Amino acid sequence: MDFLFSTAFKVRDYECDLQGIVNNSVYLNYFEHTRHEFLKHIGFDFARLHKEQIDPVVYRAELDYKLPLKSGDEFLSTINIEPKGHLKLIFDQKIFRKKDGKLMMQGLITAVILKNGKPIRPTLFTERF
């Protein structure tokens, strides 16, 4: 459990579906919020970036669902980052349940940074971490 940045969450009941577990799509919400909190942590604001026509977008996601989060679960969402080639950033994201430290979910999210719709080198971000 070695990471660059983390955010604490608690499952909200509306995130659970009729199986009584957090719906599979919601983990991408958790991951996104964690990435945006990390951006804020290193001095960037996602909404402001958008106004400056700089848009980080998800290019690929590999998600491994280990154990389902349920109503009431608290968890830690962690991030590590590695550049890939000149244009991509890979966010290695994990979710650990608080009560027992179990790994619930793991994702590799590849992002590219678009400026006016064209990919740019992510150096404005990478030089901050």
**Buried residues in 44-78 as b, exposed as e (16+ CB within 10 A):** beeeebeeeebebeeeeeeeeeeeebeeebebbbb
Q: Which is nearer to a copy of itself, 2 or 48 (CB)?
A: 48
Q: What is the dihedral of CA 89, 94, 95, 100, to 10 degrees?
A: -160
Element (H, E) at 32: helix 26-41
Task: Please tell me what DSSP assigns to residue 42.
Answer: T
| 120 lies in the site for a copy of itself, by CB under 8 A | no
Residues annotated as part of the active site: 17
- Look at residue 62 and give its three-state secondary structure: strand
23 or 124: whose CB is closer to a copy of itself?
23
Of 4, 41, 63, 83, the residue at the interface with a copy of itself (CB under 8 A) is 63
62 in contact with a copy of itself (CB under 8 A): yes
**One residue of 42, 52, 71, 80 binding a copy of itself per CB under 8 A:** 71
> Does 26 sit near a copy of itself (CB under 8 A)?
yes
Q: Which residues bind a copy of itself (CB under 8 A)?
A: 12-14, 16-21, 23-26, 28-29, 32-33, 36, 40, 45-47, 50, 55, 57-65, 68, 70-72
